[in-house]
Structure 1
Amino acid sequence: MGTVLGLVAALLAAAIFSPILAVGTISVTGTKLVTTDQVQAALEPLKGKPLPQVSDDEVGRLLEPLVQVKSVTTQARPPSELVVEVLERIPVALVKQGERYRLVDVDGVVLATTADPSSVSLPVIDGGAGTIGKDLFQATAEVLGALPPDVLSKLSNASAQSVDAVELKLVDGQTIIWGNAGEKELKAKVLEALLKVPADPKNPVRVYDVSAPRHPVTR
């Protein structure tokens, strides 16, 4: 029995440390904000390392400089391919800074910058984190993060007088009274349904109030 266990241990050790199973190719999926080339370049130090020794944590640490990457999962495909699936942060708004606009996620992480806000179908958060304060910024960003992409793309800007008074503006000029960040998933579904109601030219809607999502109001 001892001989058999020793043989198994030797085979496992050989598999773990064998150069035959060294990383030679790194395949990347899930990238939009960063490029495949950027990810592969960051993971270049893994080349030549045995596949069984590569962990998600190590890959994540190597990709930390790419702030757009939120997390990763990896899969080894012997003899030499490492597949890396990237989960990126999701941009929810633009924040104006000088003449440029920062693309940010729900945590306020800057993912990119642009000089042309019309090139991105996302709302502008009035004031930004530095002006309106962290709490108001976070409340507004959480609301935007709950909205489906088709609704998010219809917004022009977002603001908050307090954490309980988040308001959104549609590109067509209508106001959305959101209230606080509570029940944000329900509010998002109610708002999405309201926006799909055909417009009545004789009684145009100027305000969508979903602050009490079980009793929404339009006026």
Structure 2
Amino acid sequence: MVDRLAERAAMRRHRRWRRLAWTLLVLVLVGALAWLAFFSPVLATRADDVRVVGAGSLVDTSEVERIAAEADGVPLPRLDTVSLRTRMLDVRGVKDVAIVRDWPHGLTVRVTPREPVAAVPEQNRYALLDTDGVRVATVTKAPKGVPVVTVPVDGADHHALDAVLAVLGALPEKLSAQVTAVEAATQDTVELTLKGGARVVWGSAQDSALKVRVLEALRAAKQTRDAHVFDVSAPTLPVTR
């Protein structure tokens, strides 16, 4: 009886030791994997495997690449992509950034550039603005395809400029490509000049989607397509002349 009790006690001790050994082994393996992933060079970022794509011509690509290069040597699982993205968003011309880990050593930085939709005269230069009113760049000559915008420059009232940018942002790509100049004395008097010289009296930025459809219909209709002026400021009662 005593021998049997001793044998059972020995078996219990053996099972405890075996569980302890397995637990220690699992902890060692987890620790080793954590070290390999977060601290060893096995998954470290390599500068040669970092790609910056989609930056466009007005983004300071070298600055984006410089920020991305700071990830060199940092293990991918430990890399703070949020911090990198925040700093890249401060680079002029950058609208958005997406950073994707390319295992085991790479990064792809996808840059969405701000696209200029307006060239606003500023002394002897032009400020290029996107639809949000953000200055994308300052140039000496308005780029081809970007309309020159003439608005009051009193420095206090930006309503006219805001209206122009709202209108330009509402235009479909095909129509936008035909706009060469925009004028607005107030937020309610936006006028577009198209290639060929035709003028579009747009009025305010309200109902822009409807105004686009009306303008396209007028320019397609045989009776009105050769007009010099398309007045869609009241889109339900358009006028041509």
For residue 87 of structure 1, give the secondary structure of its aligned residue in structure 2. strand
Q: For the residues of structure 1 that align with 2:125 and 2:140, how far apart are their CA atoms? A: 4
- Residue identity opposite 1:207 in structure 2: V
Question: Could you tell me which residue of structure 1 aligns to residue 230 of structure 2?
Answer: 208
Question: 1:79-116, CA deviations, whole angstroms, 9 ceiling, x for partnerless residues?
Answer: 11100111111211101111111211122222123322
Q: Of residues 170, 181, 192 in structure 1, which corresponds to 2:205?
A: 181
Matches of 1:132 and 1:149, distance apart in 2: 31
Partner of 2:173: 149
Q: Unaligned regions of 5+ residues in structure 1, if any? A: none
- Report the AA paired with residue 73 of structure 2: G
RMSD: 3.0
Residue in 2 aligned with 1:68? 93
**Matched residue type, 2:212:** A
Task: Tell me how many residue pairs correspond in the alignment.
Answer: 216
Task: State which of 45, 48, 52 in structure 2 corresponds to 1:23.
Answer: 45
TM normalised by structure 1 equals 0.81
1:110 aligns to what?
A: 135
Greater shift, 149-158 or 11-20, is seen at: 11-20
Unaligned runs of 5+ in 2: 1-18
Of 81, 100, 104, which aligns to 2:125? Answer: 100
Question: CA separation in 2, counterparts of 1:96 and 1:19?
Answer: 52
CA contact (8 A) 1:43 1:62 kept: no
Query: Does 1:86 find its partner at 2:108?
Result: no
Distance in 1 (CA, whole Å) between partners of 2:229 and 2:124 is 31
**Superposed CA offset, 1:54-85 (max 9, x none):** 35432222214422111111111111110011
1:218 is matched with which residue? 240
Find the counterpart in structure 1 of residue 65 from structure 2.
Answer: 40
Give the conservation status (yes or no) of the 8 Å contact 1:95–1:128.
no
**Contact 1:96–1:128 (Cα < 8 Å) also in 2:** no
In 2: Cα distance, 1:99 partner to 1:116 partner:
9
Equivalent pair of 1:167/1:179 in contact (CA under 8 Å) = yes
Greater gyration radius? 2
